[in-house]
Amino acid sequence: MKKLLAISLILLSVRIFAQNIRITTHNISLVYHVNQEGRLVQQYFGPQLHPEYADTLVKNQQEAYVTAGMESLLDPAIRVVHNDGNPSLELKYISHNSVPTAPNVTATTITLQDPVYPVTVTLHFEAYDKEDIIKAWTEIKHNEKKPILLTAYASSMLHINAEKYWLTQFHGDWAKEVNMQEQYLTAGMKILDSKLGTRANMYQSPMFLLSVDQPAQEENGTVLAGTLAWTGNFKFGFEVDERNALHINAGINPYASDYTLKPAEVFTTPAFIFTLSDKGKGQASRNFQHWALNYGILDGHGPRLTLLNNWEATGMDFNEQRLTGLFGGAKQLGVDLFLLDDGWFANKFPRNEDNAGLGDWEPNTAKLPHGLGYLVKEAEKQGIKFGIWLEPEMVNPRSELYTKHPDWILRLPNRAENYYRNQMVLDLTNPAVQDFVFGVVDKTMSENPGIAYIKWDCNRLLTNTYSPYLKEKQSHLFIEYTRSLYKVFERVRAKYPHLPIMLCSGGGGRTDYGALKYFTEFWPSDNTDGLERIYIQYGYSHFFPSNTMAAHITNWGHQSLKFRTDVAMMGKLGYDIKVSDFNDKELQFSHDAVETYRRISNVVWYGNLYRLVSPYQENRAVFQYTSDDQKKTIVFNYLMNVGKNDVFTPVKLLGLDPQQQYRIREINLFPGTRSSFHLDKLYSGDFLMKEGIQLAPGGGRSLTSNILEITAE
């Protein structure tokens, strides 16, 4: 009997150690293996190999989720301090499970456990087959008698072996978002992170591109694209070791965030979302864009509203008559909605400047004696919808809320108050504050049921913070704030499931898939200068589809109205401009542009994007959007600050049917002008992709633009 039991245990051990756990999409393979010590190692990560299981022949032995305190010298994915002070963790394979959860989605879980301490780590993966996207996150729990301390808790680790690595980061500042910078990774550690809390993405966006063996190319080469679905502090670590292997750690930034985990409590990390392309940045972007439309954003295939915002026309200086007078401009443009921005609320401390009123969310009776409901009805009389701006997480010291609830505010005891944009942040970790913030939205909507759109803003980052509610658990603040924000979003969406809401944070301070599943779009930047927006929208296009990027035509910049309009039509079109200043031709052009945008928007929003010419490489930028059936293509051509020595070669299109015949027509022309292109023939898709078309006739002029509609016949 003992002999049979021993044989059974040996066979079980062999089965465990022979386990190959494959997480695959149509073109990507991520393979794990259990080694002789019972630890999980990453065996392969790369393109699908043929035949199907060839990827299991690779012999990499890097531990999949590196723990602190043991023999590894790498930056760990997880660090735990146990009840007895032991700062180590060993994780051994227990089990795994893989099941389809939808026609295109497979979920895999891998359970690991410490053989000495009752700590369990579960690695979760969701593989989206057609989109070649993988989501990875981790659950940590334990059954020790007392809480344990977590000081590192990555969502995922990836290990890559190549000769060379190039990292592209997206960084900037207010009005300078998502500047792209690529660098060669040398031995040691490179960290991209944020410590700003509420407005985490202000300086560094939570996304990256990693190319191997050569700098990132648009349509060739191997590129890993990754982002973190978390509206808070993030950290990406890129460590090149002494053997030239690259190890990527992705997750919440543990800065000032040691987490005390109670027995039986589950700590769930946010998802690290990534794709691997062997066809360059372009395919990686298309993977993300199609995944986002289907899974990542609210109502990805639903309608989007064109709008006119009052901010550039009035600022906070308005009344009912002035606002209703602007409704006619929205009607003349032909947009769907009028959006009332900041300055409409508060009475004791009226919101006439940005130093008062935040927190007191009742209509200002001097400006709006008949309330928001009157504006909703007046807008409806003009045949347009009405939307409203809110910033419910914030408070001004000059407000009734500040006076009534000083315990609701994040601020340091025994220190002078610190202001950013004259405001402070409410302590959203407090359930009473969560009720208040939800109540701001709910009261606004329930009292004015015709409101059709919300712009949700957040203009202050987290500094000088202390939570009266968390008391001795201040190191939980950054994490619990974001979790609490999601609780509020969940409540809003439970009651208003399809209300269009823009995610805004003083520009691009919140641009992540943790929040976007609750929002229909985001505000990429307060910078609406047409020329600079080309770079901003180019950067965001690496991870987000066009219908998520709110792009408004304003008076920023020194370009023509046509140039600014052509740039905005590459995103989710809107206006923030004084329509009454338009002359007749400008008004006619803008009205026609709205109609043209409605006609082509399905291709721009849902088509395949090809970035044909980068603004970082030439003094022009060319973008192509092509429908899945290859019947319709829209090309956006922007000439920037053209130099006397610039030579613009013909542009070769991509993604067309080589056998199909196409007709090219310039659209969105200004009244009284004619196209400078003479493309009055039919062209084969093969010709357009191999020979291309000249998009700078006569050498081209600075700050000019064209939109071409290419249709199969």
Feature table: binding site for substrate: 174, 341-342, 421, 455-459, 504, 526
Q: How far apart are CA 566 and CA 560, in angstroms?
A: 10
Strands (E), 293-361: 307-309, 337-340
Instruction: Kindly give the residue spans of alpha helices, DSSP state H, lying in 517-671.
Output: 530-540, 561-568, 584-606
435 is catalytic: no
Gap between the terminal Cα atoms of the chain:
79
Q: How far apart are CA 244 and CA 544, in angstroms?
A: 32
**Contact residues for 347 (Cβ-Cβ < 8 A; gap 6+):** 360, 362, 364, 365, 366
Q: Which of 258, 299, 526, 592 is catalytic?
A: 526
Residue from 284, 314, 263 nearest 221 by CA: 284
Q: Which of 55, 114, 193, 457 is catalytic?
A: 457
Residue from 592, 590, 593 nearest 580 by CA: 590
Give whole-number Cα distances, 526 to 97, 413, 631, in Å: 46, 34, 35
Please give the order of strands across the beta sheet that includes 40-47.
20-24, 28-34, 40-47, 62-63
List residues bridging with 150 in a β-sheet.
Answer: 80, 259
241 is catalytic: no
DSSP letter string, 177-243: TTEEEEEE--SEEEEEE---GGGTTTTEEEEEEEEESS---SSSB-EEEEEE--SS-EEEEEEE-TT
DSSP letter string, 125-150: EEEETTTTEEEEEEEEEE--SS-EEE
Instruction: Kindly give the residue spans of alpha helices, DSSP state H, lying in 406-529.
Output: 431-447, 477-495, 513-516
- The token duo for 291 is 């995944």
Residue 673 has phi, psi (to 5 degrees) of -115, 160
Instruction: Kindly give the residue spans of alpha helices, DSSP state H, lying in 223-296.
Output: 280-291
Residue 687 has phi, psi (to 5 degrees) of -65, -45
- Tell me if the bond preceding 392 is cis, omega within 30° of 0: no
Instruction: Identify whether the C-beta of residue 125 lies closer than 8 Å to the C-beta of residue 111.
Output: no
Angle at 568 between CA 318 and CA 543, to 5 degrees: 115
Summarize the annotated binding site as residue ranges.
174, 341-342, 421, 455-459, 504, 526
| Residue found by looking up tokens 């019972």 in the block | 38
Q: How far apart are CA 238 and CA 185, in angstroms?
A: 8
Give the gyration radius of the chain's Cα atoms.
Answer: 27
Give whole-number Cα distances, 376 to 37, 372, 387, 619, 675, in Å: 67, 6, 8, 45, 41
Residue from 90, 139, 132 nearest 115 by CA: 90
- What are the residue numbers of the active site? 457, 526
